[in-house]
Amino acid sequence: MSVIKSYSASGPKARVIPTNIERRPVGPNDVQIAIEHCGVCHTDIHFVNNDWGMTNYPVVPGHEIVGRVTEVGSSVKNFKAGDRAAIGCLVDSCGVCVNCEKGLEQYCLNGFTATYNSETTDPGGFTYGGYSTSVVAKESFILSIPDNLKGPGVAPLLCAGITTYSPLRNWNISPGQKVGVIGLGGLGHMGVKFGRALGAQVTMITSSEQKGEDARMLGAHEVLLSTSANALAKEAGSFDFLLNTIPVDHDLTPFLELLKTDGAMCVVGAVEPLSKVNAAQLIFGRRSLTGSLIGGIAETQEMLNFCGGNDILSEVEVIRMDGINEAFERMRKSDVKYRFVIDLATLS
């Protein structure tokens, strides 16, 4: 075992502070990564605050991990010391259920092992995430980074990237289709980039004129203000697909009206009950309301390769590790364009 530096929270709504943690030794199938950058996801705040009632303390957040391989186990075949490598939201799954066999580890029927806060036989009893100087994980959950993808903008691809890429691929978004991205933030800005790269006609749907201007710079073809009833009415029944990134409960009624017959709206932002859903909109338009959770390991690698082929990175603001609590406060106010990324060199 090795003792490393990290930042953790000791209880609900506690500040995230310096802590020493233990990592397991590198086993035959393991890869050790010295972490260079770790993205900051809103999920990290939820776990620190125990908003979902399942946090195990101390919690070391972070599931958008990028770094360099420092050691590999004797049976590792695809990585060597010095390679750039990444870890996303998962570090293990049962591997034998029907979903795991399909490469859908994120929907493991026996429960996947998350990069942090999941039960494990590792020191501490629970997985510890990327707010730390190094990590050890199974080779089968380690991702390769294309050579041309460099810098801190790679890190959020491991969560924000795959969260938006997976539904666009699953619903076969292709040239000529009209796609709306609802909400411009950490997820929404990636949805715009991916939709554009897949050849779709991309519309940013937002309540903010300023965010609409930003979306155009990111690649959106059009902007639709959700605060304008007239603008929404003009676009009724015109969208093939809507990617809904709003992170809280909201009224879906005005958005469902935008879908064509057989159109679909995929929710990726609000991990909570949605109180206002009118089933009549689904029935009379043969519309679908669905959801999506990250992607499996193979699809996440596909996403990284797609980003490499299309020069796609996240828009980020780099922070020091000791600035994480201030970053959390700014995230609560949506004061970031569009993801924070921690420079782990500031923790060494």
The CATH number given to whatever domain includes residue 39 is 3.90.180.10
Q: CATH number for the domain including 232?
A: 3.40.50.720
| Structural domain for 124, as ranges | 2-159+313-346
- With respect to residue 308, please indicate whether it lies within any of the assigned structural domains: no
Task: Supply the pLDDT for residue 275.
Answer: 86
DSSP-derived secondary structure letter, 276: -
Quick one: 276 and 254 in the same domain?
A: yes
Quick one: 102 and 221 in the same domain?
A: no
d(CA 152, CA 315): 9
Quick one: 319 and 173 in the same domain?
A: no
- With respect to residue 104, please indicate whether it lies within any of the assigned structural domains: yes
Quick one: 92 and 172 in the same domain?
A: no
- With respect to residue 279, please indicate whether it lies within any of the assigned structural domains: yes
**Degrees to nearest 5, angle at CA 325 with 320 and 329:** 120
- Note whether 337 and 210 are within 8 A (CB): no
d(CA 133, CA 345): 8
Quick one: 155 and 182 in the same domain?
A: no
Quick one: 224 and 267 in the same domain?
A: yes
pLDDT in tens, the chain (348 residues): 789 999 999 999 899 999 999 999 999 999 999 999 999 999 999 999 999 999 999 999 999 999 999 999 999 999 999 999 999 999 999 999 999 999 999 999 999 999 999 999 999 999 999 999 999 999 999 999 999 999 999 999 999 999 999 999 999 999 999 999 999 999 999 999 999 999 999 999 999 999 999 999 999 999 999 999 999 999 999 999 999 999 999 999 999 999 999 999 999 999 889 988 999 999 999 999 999 999 999 999 999 999 999 999 999 999 999 999 999 999 999 999 999 999 999 997
Give the type of residue at 132: S
d(CA 234, CA 278): 20
Task: Supply the pLDDT for residue 292.
Answer: 98
Is 0.85 topped by the overall pTM? yes
Quick one: 246 and 319 in the same domain?
A: no
- With respect to residue 304, please indicate whether it lies within any of the assigned structural domains: no
Q: Which two tokens stand for residue 314?
A: 């996240």
- Note whether 344 and 322 are within 8 A (CB): no
pLDDT one-digit tens code per residue, 6-41: 999 999 989 999 999 999 999 999 999 999 999 999
> Of 247, 249, 253, 255, nearest to 275 (Cα)?
249
What is the rounded radius of gyration, in angstroms, for the C-alpha atoms of the chain?
A: 20
Q: State yes or no: cis peptide before 156, omega within 30 of 0.
A: no
- With respect to residue 307, please indicate whether it lies within any of the assigned structural domains: no
> Of 327, 348, 347, 329, nearest to 339 (Cα)?
327
Quick one: 324 and 220 in the same domain?
A: no
- With respect to residue 71, please indicate whether it lies within any of the assigned structural domains: yes
Quick one: 170 and 125 in the same domain?
A: no
What is the number of structural domains in the chain?
Answer: 2
Residues 19-47 as b or e (16 or more Cβ within 10 Å = b): bebebbebeeebbbbbbbbbbbbbbbbbb
- With respect to residue 265, please indicate whether it lies within any of the assigned structural domains: yes
- With respect to residue 297, please indicate whether it lies within any of the assigned structural domains: no
> Of 169, 6, 32, nearest to 87 (Cα)?
32
Quick one: 166 and 239 in the same domain?
A: yes
d(CA 346, CA 191): 30
Quick one: 264 and 336 in the same domain?
A: no
Quick one: 171 and 317 in the same domain?
A: no
